[in-house]
Structure formats: structure tokens, C-alpha cells
Chain A
């Protein structure tokens, strides 16, 4: 079935609300307004205000309330409007959600799902455009998902709700209008493994989220020049699926990581280090990275584009790694 990414998330939400009475949704403008990205449109009418809860602008309290409700036997889905706003809720996400299980000696589970929009490309300027998911992936005790395809947008929510751990789902803002196919297998989506999105043999391009599509475009362009890139969609940013990464790197012997986050201390840095630690002698060239410029994302289109990784850079970097220019 063909649908947009937005419809896929909405369908997944609707299905979860129908299947499990413990599931409810809360966040800013998720009800009457229909969600700031229109993801939750119509859910209030279908499920009522008890299960589709508009919250005050109190990120810290409503995320903490989600943690408490999860402890109390519910399966809350908390929507945070955008990743930059999630910083207001960091204390609850990290000091409570991520730590409670270990700190309590395994007594407590926090089966909470937090969804938020991430990424740039809509000229929303510096306080609505960052990619901080890699930063969250630093934290033990939480699972981080980044659905890049319509299929994953449809499929990842239900298994995330079955997980006894807090799960953060990052939805890239540029993907909401994207159309794609959803098939029956979405109902049994795996949330542990990365996926080889395009097979190749010359260079491994490792990416996730909104960057997947630029990377696939770059791979297409490389193919026209006789370079066959393998593209890995990480899908799960924590815990990372090392096996899929190393298997591909061992085959292609070259790797480029494409990450919309800033380069310093990024997820791309982590992946690069892991490849260096565990597959160094199977590389024919150093690992390279294409990341966002280390600036706050600016408002004007030309500067925003200049700050973000683009397909041309990915192509150029892959060729440089292969010693071809």
C-alpha cells in the first residue's frame, strides 16, 4: 500500500491505540490542533481526550509524567514537537527514564516511547533544525530509532511499545511528505538491526534518517561512474548493529559515514572509531565522514543547504576514499 511517511506514523499510532488499551498519546497540540506536523490529525476525534492528551507547554513535566505513567503500568507515547524542545525535558529522559532500571537494581521498567521531529531542510532556523539524536545515542539505558523509510515509520512503533525500555523515535522533518510502499511485513518490524538498503561492493555508505535519501541519490550517481556503493540504513542508533556495519565494511574495504549531526563527538565519530577498532586491517583507506558544518543551522535557503551534507559531497568523498577523482 502506498502512503506518506506522515500517514504511516499516524496509521501506526492508530493501530497501537486500537490494539492496546494501555497506550495513550500526549504532547503539545497532538489533539485539537492535530499535531504540529499534522501526524496526529483525527486521533482525538477517534480516541477521545483521555487517550489523546493535549499538554501544556511543559516538556519537562509531561515527559516526566510519561515516565511515571510507564512505571504505573501504562504504555505512553509522548510526542515532543521537535528535538530542540526535548532539551527542556533532558532531566527526565536521562536522569529518570534511562537510569531507573539499572539504578534500582532491575526492579523498574520504563516502557515509554518518545517521538520527536528532527533535522533541517525546512528553513526553520537554528532552534528547530538540529540533529541531536546522535547525542541521545550516547546514553546507556535507552533505545534510539530513526525510521528513514515509510515502511519503518509504519512498523517501528509497535515493537517500540513492546520494548520494556524507553525508546526514542526520531522522525526527520523532510520525510513526512515522502510517499512510499508499506507491505504486510511492517507488522513484524525488527528494531535491533541495521538494513542494507542498496547492495554494492566498492564502498560502504553508512547513514540513517533524512540522510538516507541523499545517500541513495549519491549511490545512484556513483553507479553511473562505475562505482558500486553499498548503502546501510542504521535504523537503530543505539544499540548500534555493529555486525551489519562490519560485514559490509569487510566486503567493500572502504567506508564513508553520512551524518546530519555535527562532526565533533558525533555518531559518525563513534562508528568511525568502531570500524577503526575492529576492522582496521580490512580497510584499504581511512574512513571518511560527511557531516553538517559546525554552525547553528541558518535560516536562508542557500546557507542552510551549505550547512547540510549534500549528495555531491557524498559522491566526492566516496571517490576520494577510493582514490578516484
Chain B
């Protein structure tokens, strides 16, 4: 059993609410995929909710965020309205990327969410550049970049971490280690499976965190954000987590034991946190039901919004390939 939760009731319910928002959104996406409302690739975050829900609230509104193609949860917690997010899943013009990106390319410039990147590791140097821009402009902001353990096999991870460490840039490297790069387990692709050891070789501080425990995640993220903000230097945090669903909707999930999945599900971030809150008297079953009903309402409104949305006119196909204006 995890340690006693020391947060206030409000804080606990908020962490739970964010996880619930992600879970219900993802379940709905799976359902809508079956109905062919959502097409293309769809990578669900179910099982990993504690990471986004715990880590992202540690960032300030001015900080920047760079994510992967499994980023619906991050966008939700960052504050992208669920309506705009669902419209994006549908490919409607009301979507947060005008419907052009879909599931894997969620952008929200206003909230400093720079994707949604479907090239493994592709967002990592962007984060380094965003942090360099902050440093050169004398801004006290932090840039957090999420990537999976699979990205740590990419050269760009090593190049980028080196650059951030060399130039002492305020980048938070958040590794979501869900053990599988698509179908390839970590020990089948990496000679060094201790991810923090790899990162530490670049002379940056590292931390390893139970990514199934939203409180642990939040505590670690708060400390990491504070470190990067104060020291103006990078840090690496590994969140150990697990996805309960297949890699994408196309994945038959043949590469892992059902038993392994079941073992991880026992540590599911939602129910384990709910149980703890109930055991500590911080939440009743009624509280939970109310929370869930509110989330369901928000979700239904998002689906209605997406359904009522519009397709971008074909005449606008070539719009924004190139900016037409230049500025100084």
C-alpha cells in the first residue's frame, strides 16, 4: 500500500478529476473509433494517466510543453478544451489544429503546447530550442518535453540531452517508460535498460518515479520544475508506467503476456488513488460518482461539439503551407 496522501481534499479530487477526464476521453475515443468517427492512428493513454495528470500541473502557464503522438491526456490536463480536442479527433475545422492534425498532432500555441509529434524523438530538439530562446530572451520559463523510452534509442535524444546539458538550458526531459516501443520490450532493444544511467552520463540530475502513483508523479514533477527553473539547467525524470491498451487501434497486442497486463492493471492509477482517498476519508463513493458525472457531461458536450463541427472547405487545402506575409 502506498504512503498516506498528505494533500488537501481539493487537491486530491483535482488530481483524480484530471485522470478521470483522460480516462473517459480515451474510452470515448475508442468507442468513436469503432463507429469510424475517428480514423487514422489512435494511440490511447489508458493506464498512463497519472503521469500527465500529475506532472503537467507542476508547470506554469508560461512554460512550454512538447509531447508525443500519445498526447490527448497531456492536452487535456494542459487545458486544451475537450471540445476543441474532440473536434480535432474528428478532423473538423473547430479542432485545435483546424482538424488537420488529428490524434497525433495536437497543437495549441496559446497554451504553449507545441505538439503532438509523430516522429519518435522528433519533439526533443524543439524543446531544447524553445529553452534556448527563453535563455537568450532572459525569460524564466521552463520547457517540458515528454517522450517514451523508445525515443531513448534514437540518436536525437542523446544529441539533444547533450546540447541542453552543454548549454545549460531549462529543459525538463520527462521519459514515460511504458516498457514497450510499440511491440518491442525495453530489454529487447536496449543494452542498458537503466534509463536514468543513460541520462546521467550527460551530467544532468536524474530521478526515477513510480508513474502509476499520481502523488509521487506530482511531487517529483514539482521538485523537477523548481530545480530547472531555479538552476536554469536541464533535468531528466523517468516515470515508470504501463499502457493497458494496445499500442494503437491496429495493434493485436501479441507481444506481451496477458498476465503481465493484468498485474499492471492491479496498480491502475485511477482505482488505486480512489481507494487510497476513500480509505483515508478524503473522498466518498458519492464524491466519485459526482466527479464522474461531471466529466461525462463535459465529454458529451465535446462529442456534440465535434459532431456539429464543420469540414474545412477544400478551397482552403493549401492555406498555411507557406506564410504569405513577412514581418520584422
Nearest CB on A from B148, distance (A): 17
Does A286 interact with chain B (Cβ within 8 Å)? no
Q: Which A residues are CB-close (under 8 A) to B267?
A: none
Asked if B321 and A61 make an inter-chain contact with CB atoms under 8 angstroms apart, the answer reads no
Q: Which B residues are CB-close (under 8 A) to A140?
A: 321-322
Interface size class of B (residues with CB under 8 A): 35 or more
Does A224 interact with chain B (Cβ within 8 Å)? no
**Interface digits, A57-73 against B, CB 8 Å rule (1 contact, 0 not)?**
01011111111111111
Q: Which B residues are CB-close (under 8 A) to A164?
A: 323, 325-327
**Interface digits, B298-327 against A, CB 8 Å rule (1 contact, 0 not)?**
000000000000000000000111110111
Q: Which B residues are CB-close (under 8 A) to A162?
A: 326-328
Asked if A67 meets B323 with Cβ closer than 8 Å, knowing A60-B155, A91-B122, A105-B99, the reply is no
Asked if B101 and A96 make an inter-chain contact with CB atoms under 8 angstroms apart, the answer reads no
Q: Which of B98, B125, B128 has the most CB of A within 10 A?
A: B125
Nearest CB on B from A237, distance (A): 14
Q: Which A residues are CB-close (under 8 A) to B42?
A: none
Interface size, chain A (Cβ < 8 Å): 47
Q: Which B residues are CB-close (under 8 A) to A62?
A: 125, 159, 163
Asked if B129 and A64 make an inter-chain contact with CB atoms under 8 angstroms apart, the answer reads yes
Asked if A159 meets B326 with Cβ closer than 8 Å, knowing A105-B320, A107-B109, the reply is yes
Asked if A106 meets B133 with Cβ closer than 8 Å, knowing A60-B159, A71-B114, A159-B326, the reply is no
Does A121 interact with chain B (Cβ within 8 Å)? no
Does A92 interact with chain B (Cβ within 8 Å)? yes
Asked if A104 and B97 make an inter-chain contact with CB atoms under 8 angstroms apart, the answer reads yes
Does A189 interact with chain B (Cβ within 8 Å)? no
Does A32 interact with chain B (Cβ within 8 Å)? no
Asked if B323 and A64 make an inter-chain contact with CB atoms under 8 angstroms apart, the answer reads no
Asked if A58 and B162 make an inter-chain contact with CB atoms under 8 angstroms apart, the answer reads yes
Asked if A56 meets B166 with Cβ closer than 8 Å, knowing A95-B119, A109-B323, A140-B321, the reply is yes
Q: Which A residues are CB-close (under 8 A) to B115?
A: 100, 104
Does A225 interact with chain B (Cβ within 8 Å)? no
Nearest CB on B from A263, distance (A): 28
Asked if A68 and B122 make an inter-chain contact with CB atoms under 8 angstroms apart, the answer reads no
Please pick, from A67, A72, A109, the residue contacting B64 in the complex, using a CB distance under 8 A: A72
**Interface digits, B183-198 against A, CB 8 Å rule (1 contact, 0 not)?**
0000000000000000
Asked if A96 and B126 make an inter-chain contact with CB atoms under 8 angstroms apart, the answer reads yes
Q: Which A residues are CB-close (under 8 A) to B128?
A: 61, 64-65, 68
Q: Could you list 13 examples of A-B contacts with CB < 8 Å?
A: A20-B328, A24-B136, A56-B162, A61-B156, A64-B124, A64-B128, A68-B114, A68-B128, A68-B131, A72-B64, A104-B101, A105-B100, A164-B323
**A-B pairs with lowest CB-CB distance, top 3:** A68-B129, A64-B125, A105-B98
Measured CB to CB, the residues of A under 8 A from B are 20, 24, 50-51, 53, 55-56, 58, 60-74, 76, 91-92, 95-96, 100-109, 140-141, 143, 159, 162-165, 239
